[in-house]
C-alpha cells in the first residue's frame, strides 16, 4: 500500500511552510507497512492542477493526505469538506475572485479519509486535534476539492482528504507579536501525520 | 552560582502543571556552570509564603526564576511587573478579594531578571517569547511580588522574576475544544528556561 | 414582494437570542416596498422542519433570510454555504451525531441571497460584516440547508440564505469574563438586516 | 463638582479615536449635578505632560477620568494600575524604549477612581465591562501614570483613573478582516462614561 502526502511551498510572506517541512520528513518512510511518498505543491492557481495530476500518475497512491499551513490555528485541523469556490492572490500575484473550481463538480465534497478514527488516534497520542468545517477558499481548499473531483471523475476508490496544521515555533518566534499566534512543534505535526497513515493501514 | 527555579502544583481542574513538569527536568542540572535546584510551590494562599521562604533558606540561591502556567497564552511570557494585589480562589477553596499582599510593600515591583537579554536569547533559539505587563492577581503574581519584597526586606542582591508558560499539548488535546487553546511542547519550555539560566551565567 | 425572516429561540444557557429580538423588531415592517414577516424557530432537531415548512406555506415569501446567534463572533456573518451534516444537542437534550440532513440532498448548497451586494451595503452603513464559509453543523446550518433543499425540491425561485449575528451587549455584560466575548448593539444588527432586505428590493 | 474627562487624538493609522468622539459628546454636560469638561490629548510623548497640566490648571477638576482606545478589546476596561515605564512610537515618529516616566515616582500607582463601584454600575446598565490589570506601556499608561504622580506631588485629593474602550463599529467595518476585531457602539461607550461620572456624584 502506498500513501501520497503533499505539502505546500511557503506563501504569505513566510520563509518556510511547515506542511512542506513535515511531509519531507515522511518521504520514503514505511509506516505499518505503508510506503509514504511526499510531493511539494505550488501556491499557484494555474500550476496546481498539473502538479497534482502528475503526482497521481507518477505514484498511483492508494490514499492521499493533503497538508497545508493554517497560520493562527492552535491544533491539527482535519478538514471535513471542500467547496467549489476560489478566492485570493497566489504566489505569482494572480488573484481569483469567487468562482467555481470545476463547472461540472459538486457544490462540495466531503473528505473520504476516516477523519473520526484519525481524530481519535491523534488525540490518544496527546496531540491537539479537531475537525474543521472550512478549509477556506484559497489553494488549500482548491487542492482538496480538485483531488476529490479527480477521484470521482476517474472512478478511483482512493481516499483523500486535507489536514491544516499550525505555524511551527520558529515562524512565530520571528513575528512582531508572538503573543498573537499559536504554534506546534514540527515533531508533533509529523507524529500526527504518521498517526493518520497508521489509521489507513 | 546557584539558581532556584520554582514550579506550581496543578490547579484550575488541570491534572498536571507544565511549570512543575518543566522545573523537575531542570532540577540538579548544571547549566554553563550554574547549579539549578527546583522546588514545587502550592496553589494555596496561606502556604505559599512559608514554602517560598523555606526554599530560600535551604538553597541560598544567587538568582530565582519563578515559573507558572498561563493557560491560553501562545508564548513564553517574561513578566515585567508584580503588583501588590490578590484575587481568586485557591486549591483549598480559600478566596481572596482584592487586597494588598504586603501592607508595607511597594505598589509594584519590577522583575530584577535581565528580561530583555532573556527575550533575545530565547527568540534566537526560535522559541516564541514576549514580555508581558501583567501576571494577573492570582498566585503567580503573588509569589513574584512576595519574592521581590523578600529580597528587598532582606537586602539581598538576588535577581528574581517570573515567567508564564503556555499549556503543553497533552493538556489541550484533552479539552473539549482544542481549537481554542494554544500550547507549547514541554521540551521547548525547558529549553527556554535553560536559556534564561544561561543568560544569568 | 414579501420577505420571511426567521430567528431562533434562546439556547446554550442564554436567556435571550438576539436573532429573535432582531427579527421581532422587523416583523410587519415595510422596507422599500417589501413586506417583512418574522417567525420564531425552535432549537429542536425534530420540530424545525415542520416549523419552517409551516412558515413557507403560511407566508409564501419571495425571499427568505434566516438569522441565528453565533456567540463570540465580532461581526455580521453572511454565510456562504450550508452542508449536509448535523451535530450537537438541542434544547430538548436530543443529540445528533454526524449524519446527513437529507439523504437525497446535495453535499452542500450555496446561499442564493446576493451576499456580495449585501456585504457592500452593510459595510457602507459602517457595520462590521464579512462572508463566512461555515455555519457550523448545529441548527443554524440545518435550517439553512433544509430551506435550500426545500426550494430545490419545490422548484421555487425564492432566494434564501443565512446570516449569523454576534451576542448583544447585555448577554456579554452578564458573563463572568466579558473580556472574552465580542458583542454588537441590537440596533446595528437590525439595521444590517434592513440593509439585506433593501438589497432584495 | 467638576469632572475632567480626556480623550486622545487618532493614532495607529485610524482616522478617528473613539475616546475623543465619546468625550466630545460629554463636554459641557451636567450629570447628576456634576459639570463635565472634556479635553483632547495628543499622542505625542513630548507634548502630553504640558497638555495635561494645562487642563488641570484651567479646569481645577474634582475628579479626572482619562479615556483611550484599546483596539481589539471587547469591553469597557477599567484600568487598575499605571506603571512607571514607556514604550512605543508616537504620532510624530518619536520612539521611547523602556524607560521610567518619572525618575522619582513609584513603580506604579493604583487607580483612585472607585472602579469596583463603577464596574457594578456599568454592568447593571447591561454594558460589557471588566477590570484590566495593564494599560500597556504606550501613551494611555503614560497619562494615567503622570496624572496620578501629579496628584501626589501636588497633594491633591483628586481621584483619577483610566478607562480603555473598544473600537467603534465604523472603524472595524473599514478593516480588511472585520471578523478579527470586536467593537462597541459609541452610544454605549458614552453611557458607560456617564455611569462612571454618576458613581462619582
Partners of residue D132 on adjacent β-strands: D79
Residue B68 has a pLDDT of 98
Under 8 Å between Cβ of C100 and C137: no
CA C53 to chain centre: 15
- A173: nearest CA partner in chain B: B128
| Touching partners of B (3+ C-beta pairs < 8 Å) | A, D
Contact across the interface for B172 and A123, Cβ inside 8 Å: no
Partners of residue B160 on adjacent β-strands: B64
Contact across the interface for B128 and A185, Cβ inside 8 Å: no
Using alpha carbons, select from C124, C167, C143 the residue that is nearest to residue C10: C167
> How many angstroms separate the CA atoms of D71 and D78, rounded?
15
- Could you tell me the CATH number of the domain that includes residue A78? 3.40.630.20
> How many angstroms separate the CA atoms of A3 and A9, rounded?
20
A161 pLDDT tier (thresholds 50, 70, 90): very high
Other C-beta atoms lying within 10 Å of the C-beta of residue A99? 11
Mean pLDDT of chain C, nearest integer: 98
CA distance A180 to chain B (A): 7
Chain C interface residues facing chain D, Cβ-Cβ under 8 Å?
73-75, 77, 122-123, 125-130, 132, 169-170, 172-175, 177-185, 187-188
A169 pLDDT tier (thresholds 50, 70, 90): very high
Q: What is the pLDDT of residues B26-81, one digit of tens each?
A: 999 999 999 999 999 999 999 999 999 999 999 999 999 999 999 999 999 999 99
Using a CB-CB cut-off of 8 Å, the residues of chain B touching D98 are: 116
Average pLDDT over residues A154-180: 97
Residue B83 has a pLDDT of 98
Residue D165 has a pLDDT of 98
Residue B148 has a pLDDT of 98
CA B65 to chain centre: 6
C23 pLDDT tier (thresholds 50, 70, 90): very high
Q: How many domains does chain D have?
A: 1
Q: What is the pLDDT of residues D122-171, one digit of tens each?
A: 999 999 999 999 999 999 999 999 999 999 999 999 999 999 999 999 99
Provide the angle, in degrees to the nearest 10, between the axes of the packed helices A186-200 and A115-124.
130
- D185: nearest CA partner in chain C: C185
Cell of D200: 462619582
Contact across the interface for C83 and A81, Cβ inside 8 Å: yes
Sign of the C-alpha dihedral, residues A170, A175, A177, A180? Answer: negative
> How many angstroms separate the CA atoms of D179 and D177, rounded?
5
Residue D90 has a pLDDT of 97
Out of D123, D172, D187, the one facing C128 most closely (by C-beta) is D172
A8 pLDDT tier (thresholds 50, 70, 90): very high
Out of A130, A169, A188, the one facing B169 most closely (by C-beta) is A188
> How many angstroms separate the CA atoms of B121 and D66, rounded?
38
Residue A21 has a pLDDT of 98
Chain C interface residues facing chain A, Cβ-Cβ under 8 Å?
80-81, 83, 85, 98, 106-110, 116, 133-134, 136-137
Provide the angle, in degrees to the nearest 10, between the axes of the packed helices C115-124 and C186-200.
130
Catalytic residue among C9, C103, C106, C140: C140
Residue B44 has a pLDDT of 98
pLDDT tens by residue, chain B, 201 residues: 999 999 999 999 999 999 999 999 999 999 999 999 999 999 999 999 999 999 999 999 999 999 999 999 999 999 999 999 999 999 999 999 999 999 999 999 999 999 999 999 999 999 999 999 999 999 999 999 999 999 999 999 999 999 999 999 999 999 999 999 999 999 999 999 999 999 998
Q: What is the dihedral of CA D152, D156, D157, D160, to 10 degrees?
A: -70
| Touching partners of C (3+ C-beta pairs < 8 Å) | A, D
List chain D residues with pLDDT less than 70: none
> How many angstroms separate the CA atoms of C11 and C9, rounded?
7
Out of A126, A182, A187, the one facing B74 most closely (by C-beta) is A182
| Burial label, B59 (beta-carbon count in 10 A; 0-12, 13-18, 19+) | middle
Our CA angle for D23, D28, D29, nearest 5°, is: 85
Under 8 Å between Cβ of C68 and C58: no
Our CA angle for D152, D156, D162, nearest 5°, is: 70
Mean pLDDT of chain A, nearest integer: 98
Q: Which of C82, C104, C107 is the best residue to mutate to test the A interface, defined by the most A CB atoms within 10 Å of its own CB?
A: C107
3-state secondary structure A112-145: CCCHHHHHHHHHHCCCCEEEECCCCCCHHHHHHH
CA distance D113 to chain B (A): 15
Which parts of chain B fold into alpha helices (H)?
18-26, 45-59, 115-124, 139-153, 169-173, 186-200
Provide the angle, in degrees to the nearest 10, between the axes of the packed helices B186-200 and B18-26.
50
Q: Which domain holds residue B111?
A: 2-200
Residue C80 has a pLDDT of 98
> How many angstroms separate the CA atoms of D36 and D23, rounded?
9
Residue B157 has a pLDDT of 97
Other C-beta atoms lying within 10 Å of the C-beta of residue D62? 16
Residue A152 has a pLDDT of 97
Q: What is the pLDDT of residues A68-115, one digit of tens each?
A: 999 999 999 999 999 999 999 999 999 999 999 999 999 999 999 999
> How many angstroms separate the CA atoms of C171 and D143, rounded?
32
Interface predicted TM-score (ipTM) of this complex, two decimals: 0.95
Average pLDDT over residues C112-132: 98
Chain D interface residues facing chain C, Cβ-Cβ under 8 Å?
73-75, 77, 122-123, 125-130, 132, 169-170, 172-175, 177-185, 187-188
> How many angstroms separate the CA atoms of C50 and B77, rounded?
53
Amino acid at each position: 500500500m502506498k500513501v501520497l502526502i503533499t505539502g505546500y511551498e511557503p506563501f504569505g510572506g513566510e520563509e518556510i511552510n511547515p506542511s512542506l517541512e513535515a511531509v519531507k520528513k515522511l518521504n520514503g518512510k514505511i509506516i505499518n507497512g505503508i510506503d509514504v511518498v511526499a510531493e511539494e505543491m505550488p501556491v499557484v492557481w494555474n500550476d496546481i492542477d498539473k502538479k497534482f495530476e502528475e503526482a497521481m500518475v507518477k505514484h498511483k497512491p492508494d490514499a492521499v493526505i493533503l497538508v497545508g499551513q493554517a497560520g493562527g490555528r492552535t491544533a491539527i485541523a482535519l478538514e471535513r469538506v471542500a467547496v467549489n469556490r476560489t478566492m485570493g492572490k497566489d504566489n505569482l500575484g494572480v488573484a481569483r475572485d469567487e468562482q467555481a473550481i470545476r463547472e461540472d463538480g459538486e457544490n462540495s465534497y466531503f473528505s473520504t479519509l476516516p477523519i473520526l478514527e484519525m481524530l481519535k488516534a491523534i488525540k490518544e497520542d496527546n496531540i491537539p486535534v479537531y475537525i474543521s468545517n472550512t478549509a477556506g477558499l484559497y489553494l488549500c481548499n482548491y487542492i482538496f476539492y480538485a483531488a476529490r473531483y479527480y477521484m470521482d471523475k476517474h472512478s478511483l476508490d482512493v481516499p483523500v482528504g486535507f489536514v491544516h496544521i499550525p505555524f511551527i515555533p520558529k515562524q512565530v518566534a520571528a513575528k512582531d507579536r508572538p503573543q498573537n499566534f499559536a504554534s506546534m512543534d514540527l515533531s508533533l505535526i509529523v507524529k500526527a501525520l504518521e498517526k493518520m497513515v497508521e489509521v489507513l493501514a
